[in-house]
Structure 1
Amino acid sequence: MRGQLGADVDGNSLWHEGAVRPEAGVADPRWIVRKGPEHEGLKGLLRPIWCQPMFFIWVRGGQQVGGGEGSLEASQQVTDNWLLPEAPQGMHRGVSSFRGAGTAAKMTSPPLGADDAIPLQSAAPAVTGTKPKMSTTRKILLILGFLSTLAAIALITVAVTQNQPLPKNIKYGIVLDAGSSHTNLYVYEWPAEKENDTGVVQQVEVCKVEGPGISGYSQTTEKAGPSLVQCLRQAEGVIPLKQHQETPVYLGATAGMRLLRLENKDAAEKVLSSVEKTLRSAPFNFQGARIISGQEEGAYGWITINYLLGNFKQSGWKKFLHSLKSVSETSGALDLGGASTQITFVPDEISSESPQNLLYFRLYGKDYRVYTHSFLCYGKDQALQQKLARDLQSTENSSLFDPCFHQGYQRTISVSNFFKNPCTSVEKKQFPFSQLHIEGEGNYEKCRRNIQNLFNKTDCPYSSCSFNGIYLPPLQGDFGAFSAFYFVMNFLNLTSDDPFTLDEVASAIKKFCARPWHEVKLQYHQIKEKYLSEYCFSGAYILSLLENGYEFTTENWKRIHFLGKIGSSDAGWTLGYMLNLTNMIPAEEPPAPPLSYGSYVGLMVLCSLVLVSVILLAWLLFHKPKCLQKGVV
């Protein structure tokens, strides 16, 4: 065992320890530190390599006074880049190297001069104040650390990139409902990839057009189109700018325009021309403005109701808050507007008695065959006109006492204008007066009798009929009643989640009709008088239509559910219209992630294996188990 020691000038003996690698002939440098000129606290530091321990010995006056395994004090921490401080006066610094398997050895030396030193062994360079060379192990650990960092970064980057939310590929559509009394604009959206060829559509915006319905512009047809501009601009703000040109816009005119076409075909065409001009000037993809048939209106309303109730089993639909107890797969639809009413449902058995009342649909991969019929002139507004026309036939003077208006209510109407309507023209005759003065009586029972005269129940060429000789199969399932059905019943507080009985509904309407007009007007002062004055008639008419027209009875009355909104969407025909149209809009592939599923999983596994392997190898190199000690410097 040989080594080089720093010695003081007084010749005291020094203790030096050497924990040596087992194999002979391998140089193992060890640092020696001695503190203080009084030779107190001489400390021999052995830098640990791999799994070897570190030994130190305390010396005082040339005698060993302590020692053991351990490490430097915190204030004396040593790293690979550490250089010995300048030796105290009378000390040398140097490097010792050892051979053999000794654990600790006592070395003495004769007094040495300040500049004398024992010669170095060949493989142990003397320390001259320069940084020692980095060990091979240290280099390997640095490389492995770099590789593990790269693997971790790659793993995180791939995971974050692959799992980022994909941009939504949303399509938009606009439908305008041009009804008899007003026009509404609806904006719908759906995923571009669709589901079983039908879009999962939801309503995102509704705008009520100011003024009357477009049929009300029969005398000023050029104003029909411009009336829509404000709502079109509102739609522009809802739909992203880059999708304006690809967004289809449709206008469907209902019973009001059907009547105008019967009354004045030229005026109806001019109204549609004005509307088309405005819609073409909008930044959207104009797809048409037309008068839809009564059957279409009824069928699209049926689609809306069943879509919103989730009966088509499409994904993304919102559950209706009411718990419908339907025994059938779908629910029927009851629609009431100002000029027409529709009934639509899937009958239990398909009859060949009236094939013109059957329509066929394919929605979400399934075929449906529905019964539907629309009764023109039997909307609540036109029904009132029909009743007044009949009442007028029996009056001999210009005054009419009407049981369907509140007691104390008065109204004057023009007789000549009254019979221009196609729904009342059949009752036209010559009258000795030009103005008709109406006074209310508020008599519910008498009002119901007058209304029932509107329904012809005598002529029926089929096995069963609704009224006016129209075939009606047996009612099947629950029914959603919307539009004016809902608005009137909601005003009368008859739309609670727990359906009222038929007797309870009749009693509530009777009680409302009996109230004097001044009392009603005072309580509902925020409602326009024209609409407020007609709620008594409308309530009585709805009851007569459902009971006497559509054959609902005390037993099945609770199967009717009055619906305004279902989730965030209005109950009406426009959503069904949009759903049916999406069948003709090509589906698109959904946005794809950067990597396929297989590639993503494979890359994640590879990065994980690399990271684990690098960490394991670094741990083995740092701790150097005995099984790996051989051959590693």
Structure 2
Amino acid sequence: MKGTKDLTSQQKESNVKTFCSKNILAILGFSSIIAVIALLAVGLTQNKALPENIKYGIVLDAGSSHTSLYIYKWPAEKENDTGVVHQVEECRVKGPGISKYVQKVNEIGIYLTDCMERAREVIPRSQHQETPVYLGATAGMRLLRMESEELADRVLDVVERSLSNYPFDFQGARIITGQEEGAYGWITINYLLGKFSQKTRWFSIVPYETNNQETFGALDLGGASTQITFVPQNQTTESPDNALQFRLYGKDYNVYTHSFLCYGKDQALWQKLAKDIQQFEIQGIGNYQQCHQSVLELFNTSYCPYSQCAFNGIFLPPLQGDFGAFSAFYFVMNFLNLTSEKVSQEKVTEMMKKFCSQPWEEIKTSYAGVKEKYLSEYCFSGTYILSLLLQGYHFTADSWEHIHFIGKIQGSDAGWTLGYMLNLTNMIPAEQPLSTPLSHSTYVFLMVLFSLVLVIVAIIGLLIFHKPSYFWKDMV
């Protein structure tokens, strides 16, 4: 009887083991299928075939002192995704700004040739006819138009005829307003810094903002004008002429902007010289304080019809957030080695005093490779920038640390041209794109997780098939 009970017990135990083995194998099989599907889904989602259809765009910045050509490219399939447009080429046209060709318009075609031919080389021939070309003229042409609209139109007509001769999709040449210049510069730096984009949490359809979603203000300084643009803390404005509204990636932005014509570094210098014209010869004496006081005379702060003004009676709300200072702000301060964020405003002023007080012969020896025309203007330009930021825009020693002098962002020049192209090609949608790719860390985590599941399933399966006794012994 005992033998029969043992046999029955063993048979029951064998049946239980068989039943459990089948269930475990079924679970392992199901887990394997799920893991494989998950791996395929994550892999296919993250590793889509790279788009072969690349698009290009060309923007010519026709400034007061020179013209620069910028070439941008982006994957055609990702036109509404942020951060995909980047600069691939910059070509500086030899010669002054186009406004200086008003009496020699027949030379404009030759003037533009080298950079346009460079664009032919950089952009694949198959893409030429699909590549839009835009020319935006800024303060130099604004001043010419104020002097004579007929002369400004003549220059633009010749520019258009010259650019139409190239095999690109020419979209026209126009004089942009100071407000547009400020707005496009603001769009450019915030686009490149990723301030308009949002990331999406894994397993969540609710987007969350990146670590610092507050936009940067934009400080632009050219030869003939300067622009300040930022999102003020108070959304109501006392001056509607200085207000702009944008809706970008599903978020509304109320922006303050103003362009001060004739307050670019070159025109400001001419203004200063005009005030000192009673002398037949202007001779620098290396006195920073005297230069500073002379520059301050350019800013009329005697009246303000608003609660707060910059200068010349122009409304300026309280400064808010960080600012990117680019174009001549960067070029001048970079030459003077004053772009480091570790250098305080007091230290910048001290270093400017030292630079301006150096004898001219010593300056020429120290910077032998720099043209004397430009070298002779750096003391004034640096002093003017300090005066504009501190007295004109009311930055303080404390808020100075929020100014970031920027030349390039991720390989693209900080300036208005990228924002101009993004706007004209509708590259920035009003609403947030519906989907975003997984972050790299999330992708790696999921791939490793599901791969481990497959490995564990395979090991357990092998144990059950080849060494069931060890498996059940461990179970017991």
Greater displacement, 286-295 / 572-581: 572-581
Segments of 4+ in structure 1 off by > 6 A?
none
Aligned equivalent of 1:358: 243
Which residue of 391, 394, 401 corresponds with 1:551?
394
Contact 1:176/1:252 (<8 A) preserved: yes
Q: Which amino acid aligns with 2:355?
A: F
Aligned equivalent of 1:176: 60
Aligned equivalent of 1:505: 348
TM alignment of 1:482-631, pairs within 5 A? 482-496=326-340, 498-583=341-426
Deviation at 1:515, TM superposition (A): 0.3
Aligned equivalent of 1:147: none
TM alignment of 1:345-494, pairs within 5 A? 345-392=230-277, 395=278, 400=279, 436-494=280-338
Contact 2:67/2:92 (<8 A) preserved: yes
Larger radius of gyration: 1
Alpha-carbon distance in structure 2 between the residues aligned to 1:260 and 1:574: 21
Give the 3 Å change call, closer, same or farther, for CA 242–314 of structure 1 in structure 2: farther
Deviation at 1:375, TM superposition (A): 0.1
- The structure carrying a bigger helix percent of its residues is 2
Alpha-carbon distance in structure 1 between the residues aligned to 2:420 and 2:127: 21
- Secondary structure in 2 aligned to 1:468? coil
Q: Are 1:260 and 2:260 an aligned pair?
A: no
Q: Which amino acid aligns with 1:279?
A: L
Alpha-carbon distance in structure 2 between the residues aligned to 1:195 and 1:165: 16
- Secondary structure in 1 aligned to 2:65? coil
1:6-51: CA deviation from partner (whole Å, max 9, x where unpaired): xxxxxxxxxxxxxxxxxxxxxxxxxxxxxxxxxxxxxxxxxxxxxx
Alpha-carbon distance in structure 2 between the residues aligned to 1:333 and 1:567: 17
Alpha-carbon distance in structure 2 between the residues aligned to 1:198 and 1:165: 19
- Secondary structure in 2 aligned to 1:530? helix
1:267-300: CA deviation from partner (whole Å, max 9, x where unpaired): 2111111110011111110111000000000011
How many percent identity over aligned positions? 69
Aligned equivalent of 1:203: 87
Greater displacement, 479-488 / 304-313: 304-313
- Secondary structure in 2 aligned to 1:312? coil
Alpha-carbon distance in structure 2 between the residues aligned to 1:529 and 1:346: 40
Deviation at 1:226, TM superposition (A): 2.9
Contact 2:79/2:427 (<8 A) preserved: no
Contact 2:73/2:86 (<8 A) preserved: yes
- Secondary structure in 1 aligned to 2:136? strand
TM alignment of 1:267-306, pairs within 5 A? 267-306=151-190
1:60-87: CA deviation from partner (whole Å, max 9, x where unpaired): xxxxxxxxxxxxxxxxxxxxxxxxxxxx
Aligned equivalent of 2:114: 230
Aligned equivalent of 1:240: 124
Give the 3 Å change call, closer, same or farther, for CA 448–568 of structure 1 in structure 2: same
Q: Which amino acid aligns with 1:292?
A: I
Deviation at 1:361, TM superposition (A): 2.2
Give the 3 Å change call, closer, same or farther, for CA 508–164 of structure 1 in structure 2: closer
Contact 1:298/1:374 (<8 A) preserved: yes
Alpha-carbon distance in structure 2 between the residues aligned to 1:445 and 1:182: 31
Alpha-carbon distance in structure 2 between the residues aligned to 1:544 and 1:281: 45
Alpha-carbon distance in structure 2 between the residues aligned to 1:391 and 1:231: 39
Aligned equivalent of 1:213: 97
Q: Which amino acid aligns with 1:378?
A: Y
Give the 3 Å change call, closer, same or farther, for CA 198–581 of structure 1 in structure 2: farther
1:114-145: CA deviation from partner (whole Å, max 9, x where unpaired): xxxxxxxxxxxxxxxxxxxxxxxxxxxxxxxx
Deviation at 1:169, TM superposition (A): 2.0
CA RMSD in angstroms comes to 2.5
Alpha-carbon distance in structure 2 between the residues aligned to 1:448 and 1:167: 55
Q: Which amino acid aligns with 1:440?
A: G
Contact 2:195/2:213 (<8 A) preserved: no
Give the 3 Å change call, closer, same or farther, for CA 585–329 of structure 1 in structure 2: closer
Q: Which amino acid aligns with 1:518?
A: E
Structure 2 unmatched ranges of 5 or more: 1-42, 200-210, 430-476
Give the 3 Å change call, closer, same or farther, for CA 470–493 of structure 1 in structure 2: same
User: TM-score scaled by structure 1?
Assistant: 0.57
Q: Which amino acid aligns with 1:510?
A: K
Greater displacement, 196-205 / 343-352: 196-205
Contact 1:222/1:270 (<8 A) preserved: no
Contact 1:226/1:275 (<8 A) preserved: no
- Secondary structure in 2 aligned to 1:305? helix
Alpha-carbon distance in structure 2 between the residues aligned to 1:220 and 1:195: 40
Alpha-carbon distance in structure 1 between the residues aligned to 2:428 and 2:234: 33
Alpha-carbon distance in structure 1 between the residues aligned to 2:106 and 2:79: 41
Contact 1:328/1:476 (<8 A) preserved: no
Alpha-carbon distance in structure 1 between the residues aligned to 2:348 and 2:282: 27
Contact 1:254/1:292 (<8 A) preserved: yes
Q: Which amino acid aligns with 1:240?
A: P
Contact 1:327/1:477 (<8 A) preserved: no
Deviation at 1:365, TM superposition (A): 3.4
Give the 3 Å change call, closer, same or farther, for CA 352–568 of structure 1 in structure 2: closer
Contact 1:198/1:579 (<8 A) preserved: no
Alpha-carbon distance in structure 2 between the residues aligned to 1:275 and 1:198: 32
Q: Which amino acid aligns with 1:226?
A: I
Contact 1:198/1:363 (<8 A) preserved: no
- Secondary structure in 2 aligned to 1:522? helix
